[in-house]
Amino acid sequence: NEYKSYLSMATIIQLECSVQNYLWGRCAKESLVAKFANASNNDNERYAELWMGTHKKGPSVVASESLKLTEWIRASPETRLGPNARFISGNDSELPFLFKVLSVDKALSIQVHPNKSHAEELHQKDPAHYPDANHKPELAIALTEFEAFCGFRPISEIISILSNHPEICSLLSQDLKLIVSGGEINNEKAFIKAILEIFFSQENLSEIIYKELNAKTDLSPDDKLFLRIYNQHPNDRGLPVVFLLNHITLQPGEAVFLGANKIHAYFRGDCIECMACSDNVVRAGLTPKFMDVDTLVSMLDYTPTSKEEQVMVPQTHGPITSYLPPVRDFGVERIAVGGNEVIIPAKPSPQIVICTEGNGTVANGDSQVPMGPGTVVYIIPGVQVTATGQAVLFSSFCQAE
């Protein structure tokens, strides 16, 4: 009863969060997700994602209570969710964002997320495969060295790779062959799309490339990368697409923002991820799940970009580094608590905060929670919090209008 009374007045509450055991996740002893969730060392299990929020597929619960976070918010939405988050989410109990930790051991699907209007259209047409009507922009911040494919490479790199693969060039039209051999290119986006469509139309292309590479003695870094992913997803029809994509390696603290229609696939490491609260994914390879190649090909942003353009530049002010993507649904801050007291500023929305390293305390008045690796708290809107100790915290929130 005393705890229930505290919960009714609390400005900070501790959460217990859901773990997703997908096949691409890391085994317990290597997974930050397993560490943060205090999972038992079951090496037959893969620990892929820790979900922090109100998504119905993995809702957080109030620690020590069999009370879903949504139910706790619904009891007092004005103070616990606030007008900012209520406006964005459109209801009285759900957060507009979903906060995650990912531990990736093998390549996730080649995928893209729809914009809001397209998400509504896909959901109406095929609710079984597109379970909600929300968009899903997302932000990934590396916790360990983190590898991903992200966006289409510069045209010069694509042409260089194609010209080193006669088995691919033999499939191209005469016009495309002319471009690869040095001819003029009038429409870069149309060129990339044409190559992509050829790749998806060839059922055994990844196997053909695999045999060609095994016969070669001088493999390029891109060839070695192809073989590495092939060993995880043999004969996958989507695999040749990786030759068209930027391969980026993020160091801890570096980030990528993936807006609507940006092709991507994560494939090694641990990261913090934040996104609009949605589970809409259009897939076209490296997965046993439902694939919708035609939809993916029709919706992609085919703009070629460099690796450097993929990496987001955060803003740092003292101990706080802010990652603020161009969407109102979410932002993330990294808070380095190093002995001195750090003020976590009040936000117009709730904040979900996770400790990823060290130990400390977060406090506001009578609400005080000790923080260690994997501790997750919910802070109500409009509340300034003091953090002490030696720790690294990540906070997620909605951006102000």
Count CB atoms within 10 A of the CB of residue 38: 9
Dihedral, 190, 191, 195, 196 alpha carbons, nearest 10: -40
**Beta-bridge partner residues of 268:** 147
Active site positions, annotated: 283
Task: Retrieve residue 303's tokens.
Answer: 């703009």
Q: Tell me, what's the pLDDT at 202?
A: 93
Query: For the chain (length 401 residues), average pLDDT per consecutive 10?
Result: 70 95 93 90 87 94 89 93 86 92 96 93 92 89 98 96 94 92 92 96 94 93 96 94 97 96 97 91 92 95 96 95 95 94 95 97 92 97 96 94 63
Q: Cα 337 to chain center, whole Å?
A: 25
Please write down the HEC assignment for all residues of the chain: CHHHHHHHHCCEEEEECEEECCCCEEEHHHCHHHHHCCCCCCCCCEECEEEECCCCCCCCEECCCCEEHHHHHHCCHHHHCHHHHHHHHCCCCCCCEEEEEEEECCCCCCEECCCHHHHHHHHHHCCCCCCCCCCCCEEEEECCCEEEEEEECCHHHHHHHHHCCHHHHCCCCHHHHHHHCCCCCCCHHHHHHHHHHHHHHCCCHHHHHHHHHHHCCCCCHHHHHHHHHHHHCCCCCCHHHHHHEEEEEECCCCEEEECCCCCEEEEEEEEEEEEECCCCCEECCCCCCCCCHHHHHHHCCCCECCHHHHEECCEEECCEEEECCCCCCCEEEEEEEECCCEEECCCCCCEEEEEEEEEEEEEECCEEEEECCCCEEEECCCCCEEEEEEEEEEEEECCCC
pLDDT per residue as tens digits for the range 234-248:
999 999 999 999 999
Give the type of residue at 16: E
In this prediction, residue 40 carries a pLDDT of 72
pLDDT of residue 93: 87
The length of the chain, given as a count of residues: 401
pLDDT value of position 219: 95
Q: What local confidence, expressed as pLDDT, does residue 62 receive?
A: 94
pLDDT in tens, 288-317: 899 999 999 999 999 999 999 999 999 999
Amino acid 2: pLDDT? 61
Amino acid 3: pLDDT: 63
- Distances, alpha carbon 116 to alpha carbons 18, 82, 140, 278, in Å: 26, 23, 20, 11
